[in-house]
């Protein structure tokens, strides 16, 4: 079953990390901690969302592939 609450939280993490990186890239003075924090938050959101997506959509190994047809 798809857990929409977790997906919403992970999407917010992805968006927050991306916004932090974009703000730092467009700003006049560079802040290394903002870049690192944005990248970490972005990666946590991406990692957890892909884990959730693979859990929600398991691969069916019984289906024939293109080579087996």
3 vs 33, higher pLDDT: 33
Over residues 30-54, the mean pLDDT reads 90
Residue 38 Cα to chain centre, angstroms: 12
Over residues 30-46, the mean pLDDT reads 91
65 vs 9, higher pLDDT: 9
Please tell me the total count of domains within the chain. 1
By CB neighbour count within 10 A (0-12 exposed, 13-18 middle, 19+ buried), where does 34 fall? middle
In a domain, 61, yes or no: no
In a domain, 63, yes or no: no
In a domain, 48, yes or no: yes
Range of the domain at 17: 4-54
In a domain, 44, yes or no: yes
8 vs 64, higher pLDDT: 8
Over residues 6-10, the mean pLDDT reads 90
């Amino acid at each position: 079953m798809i857990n929409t609450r977790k997906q919403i939280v992970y999407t917010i993490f992805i968006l927050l990390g991306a916004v932090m990186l974009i703000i730092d890239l467009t700003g006049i003075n560079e802040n290394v901690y903002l870049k690192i924090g944005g990248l970490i938050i972005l990666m946590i959101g991406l990692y957890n969302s892909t884990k959730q997506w693979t859990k929600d959509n398991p691969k069916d190994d019984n289906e024939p592939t293109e080579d087996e047809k």
